[in-house]
Structure 1
Amino acid sequence: MTDTGKDSLASDFAKSFGIVLVVLGHVLRGLQKAGILPAGNILNEVDSAIYLFHMPLFFYLSGLFFLITFDKIGYFGMLRRSTLTILAPLAIWSYLQTGLQYAFPGGANRQISLYDFLTAPFPPQQQFWFLGVLFLVMTVVGIPAAAGRRKWLFRAMCAASLAFAIAAHDQIKTALIETSYTFLAAQFAVNLPFFLLGICVGSVSPRGLHSPASLWFAGFAAAIATASLLPPTAMVRPLLAICAVLAIHGCCLAWAECITRTGWTRFSRIAAFIGMNSMIIYLAHVIFAAGFRSTLLQFGIDDATAHILLGTVVGVAAPLALLPAGTRLQNRFPRLARAMLPVRLNRT
């Protein structure tokens, strides 16, 4: 199992694709809640397609290099590192985002009370659920890793967790809308198989997925098209999500391989840069996108297309404006920077 430059680059490309979809998905849902985007619009199909695979993709990518890190720092080292790089940003940005929503209710689509603000990270709310569930997944999966893992064990765990997610599909759908805690439990059940799948693929080197990009793209299109023809409650959707996630990774591996032969392009550099900084975009994009939507509405601009395009661009680009502050903080207080402003300027 090796962590090659091409494998890491492919992961950054996949993160870039995924984080743009995260921002787009939240922009679309924000516009729907604000009444700017009508129900039944064709973009609802886009929303359904995005939510089929975009967060499973990030769990999968997190699993790819999990064992490499685990071998270096061990179980408790992993917990200490995850507390700094996952739980600390979750808490800091939960308070920041919820505090802004409480102070400026006109820019939010949900009513925030003082209690909501005080308890913002407990349990994780809004987009921050991902960080809470990821920490829990890593904590649980780290136990068999610390106990002398074997490849077959993780493969069995992946198959078992996927079978459970499919068999308990109806119960998981119900749990997602009951309480904040059942929502987190449901997300754990849905996304655990993808983290384990990432471990399984990473343990044999992601380059084992090497195939022409055209084949992976065709597989991705087929998975999305099939999902669009099925009802949202179809039990086969997790399998289609797996196909989509593997196809995205395969395309990105082919892209990284192409770069080693033909050299970098400007688009490739931008994509890699966005992927490298997907964490800060994830933490901050709602603040910027919601604030931008509110500003457009104050100027009487309610065109849905303008909101979608500009809101997505702002949601991706505006958090990157924090890079100068983040790099300065890294130079003086690197641990604090990892908790508050996790940014990267270089691939090394």
Structure 2
Amino acid sequence: MTPIGTIAAGGGSKASPPARVDWVDYAKGICIVMVVMMHSVLGVELAAGEPGFMHGLVAFAKPFRMPDFFLISGLFLPLVIDRDWRIYLDRKVVHFAYFYVLWVTIQFGFKAPAFAAETSWRDAGLLYLESFIEPFGTLWFIYLLPIFFVVTKLTRRIPPLAIWLAAALLETARIATGWTAIDEFCARFVYFYSGYLFADYVFALSDRARRHPATALAALGAWALVNAALVAHDASEWPMVSLLLGFCGACAIVTMGTLLAHARRLNFLRFCGEHSIVIYLTFFLPMAATRTLLLRTGVVPDIGMTSLIVTIVGVIGALAIWQTALRLHAHFLFERPDAFWIAPKKTGPVLQAAE
């Protein structure tokens, strides 16, 4: 079996990286916590009918939360994109497809009774089948990644600048068809492709931040002020502004990850980054359970504090579910079984994950 937290076809920039790249784990840790926070806060506020103090944090992170995740996902593609299609599809498509099918089934199993109560079991079944066309719930990220990997490999003979400009135009066009895969592809592919195309520059940015931490901190402060101001004035989603904020925010997260790795602080974020997909797959359950419990009992009257608790439990609860599954030998929940490989397994050291 292969751990979901490591993609055998991973890599770094065109020079071979170490087994783990420390700042990347910190950056992914920051991003996955922000993802859990977003779903937790918005879910609590929707159920409660009022916002809390966490709402501002979610709004601040919106311009860069997913752009950074996709940019990092493309960073480790240069070393492996030339592999033959069988291996490439195994590592970049079958791998994610297995976990999408498994976890959409698990998530749907929890939600199906409510769906059936509102309509019928027949409609609930149709909704499940539709999830293979329209990504279900929080799982759209791993639904979209294989599409990005395949499109990038298929377009290798096209001038990269043309691909990048087309992707940037798609983001700026604010495509809204109502279909998640189409809309999110148009909005996010430019960041994934930029990670792939400009990987060396991203690693160079990290190196500069490590060498000049004071300058990096000053740049982070300036970025935070500008990002907050544009969000506060509802300008963060304007055409071109959103693209610029996405890239600036992604660079900021790279810089934060580098500084934290250099200082060896907040190792919990690094651990979360190493297991970001584990958290992504499972946080929905402890998050939803905690939200329901707190709102029904009213034990925490403040909406902001409720949102914060739900976020923390969502992250820690996801890791607890993962550990429990391993102790119960339910490895198939987080490791791809042998039967679902279509190419020989990697026998050398596993390189940095490219979720």
TM over 0.5: yes
Q: Which of 185, 190, 208 is residue 188 of structure 1 equivalent to?
A: 185
SS in 2 for 1:67: coil
Judge conservation of contact 2:205–2:255 (CA < 8 Å) in 1: no
Instruction: Name the residue aligned to 1:276.
Output: 274
Seen in structure 2, the aligned counterparts of structure 1 residues 338 and 199 have a Cα distance that, compared at 3 Å, is farther
Give yes or no for contact 2:23–2:254 (8 Å, CA) kept in 1: yes
- Paired residue for 1:101? 111
Deviation at 1:324, TM superposition (A): 5.1
Query: What does residue 221 of structure 2 align with?
Result: 218
Alignment gaps of 5+ in structure 2: 1-13, 341-350
Report the Cα offset of residue 205 of structure 1. 6.1
RMSD: 3.2
Q: Which amino acid aligns with 2:308?
A: L
Q: Does 1:230 align with 2:240?
A: no
Q: Which residue of 1 aligns with 2:317?
A: 318
How many residues align structurally?
A: 314
Q: CA deviation at 1:31?
A: 1.2
1:202-231 CA-to-partner distances (Å, cap 9, x unmatched) read 145613442333144224304422431233
- TM-superposed deviation, 1:278: 0.5
Which of these residues, 28, 49, 55, is aligned with residue 15 of structure 1? 28
Contact 2:40/2:310, CA 8 A, preserved across alignment: yes
**Displacement after TM superposition at 1:197 (Å):** 1.2
Q: Establish whether residue 38 from structure 1 lines up as the match of residue 50 from structure 2.
A: yes
Partner of 2:96: 86
Identity of aligned residues (%): 23
C-alpha distance in 1 between matches for 2:229 and 2:325:
44
Compute the displacement of 1:158 (Å).
Answer: 2.1
Select the residue among 251, 257, 282 that pairs with 1:252. 257
Q: CA deviation at 1:7?
A: 7.3
Residues 1:335 and 2:336 are matched in the alignment: yes
C-alpha separation in 1, matches of 2:252 and 2:136: 30
**Contact conserved, 1:285 with 1:319, CA < 8 A, in 2?**
yes
Distance 2:260 2:104 in 1: 35
After the TM superposition, which segments of 4 or more aligned residues of structure 1 sit over 6 Å from their partners?
Answer: none
Contact 2:74 2:195 in 1 (8 A): yes
Matched, 1:63 2:74: yes
SS in 1 for 2:81: helix
In the superposition, the TM-score normalised over structure 1's length comes to 0.79
Q: Which residue of 1 aligns with 2:247?
A: 242
**CA distance in 1 between partners of 2:136 and 2:244 (Å):** 27
For 1:196, the aligned partner's letter is Y
Match of 2:286 in 1: 288
2:198 to 198, 201, 218: 201
On the 8 A contact 1:19/1:275 being kept in 2, the answer is yes
Matched residue type, 1:221: A
Q: Give, in whole Å, the separation in 2 of the partners of 1:302 and 1:42.
A: 14
Matched to 1:128, the amino acid is L
2:101 aligned partner, one-letter code: A
Which residue does 1:342 correspond to in 2?
A: none
User: Hey, what's the Cα distance between the residues in 1 that align with 2:222 and 2:193?
Assistant: 21
Equivalent residue for 2:42, pick from 29, 33, 37: 29
Distance 1:338 1:305 in 2: 46
1:128 and 2:126 aligned: no
**Higher mean displacement: 82-91 or 225-234:** 225-234
Deviations 1:273-321 (A, max 9, x none): 1101000111111121001111223433352133212111111011111
Against the structure 1 CA distance between its residues 113 and 334, is the aligned structure 2 distance closer, same or farther, given a 3 Å change threshold? Answer: closer
Please, what TM-score do these two structures have when normalized by structure 2?
0.77
> How far apart in 2 are the matches of 1:31 and 1:189?
29
Instruction: State whether residues 219 and 244 of structure 1, in contact with CA within 8 Å, keep that contact through their aligned partners in structure 2.
Output: no
How far apart are the structure 1 equivalents of 2:162 and 2:219? 25
For 1:38, what is the secondary structure of its paired residue?
A: coil
> What does 1:100-179 align with in structure 2 at a 5 Å threshold?
100-103=110-113, 113-145=124-156, 147=157, 153-166=159-172, 168-169=173-174, 172=175, 175=176, 178-179=177-178
Q: How far apart are 1:155 and its partner, in Å?
A: 4.2
Amino acid at match of 2:287: A
Q: Secondary structure at the match of 2:260?
A: helix
Deviates more, 1:271-280 or 1:213-222: 213-222
In 2, distance between residues paired with 1:165 and 1:305? 32
CA distance in structure 2 between the aligned counterparts of 1:6 and 1:49, rounded to whole angstroms: 33
Distance 1:2 1:87 in 2: 29
Q: What residue identity is the alignment partner of 1:218?
A: G
8 Å Cα contact 1:57/1:194 also seen in 2: yes
In the TM superposition, what whole-angstrom CA distance separates every residue of 1:56-82 from its partner, at most 9, and x where no partner exists? 1111010000122334x4333221222
**Residue identity opposite 2:154 in structure 1:** I
Specify which structure has the higher proportion of helix. Answer: 1
Q: 1:61 to 1:347 in 2, by over 3 A?
A: closer
Higher relative contact order (CA 8 A, sep 6+): 2
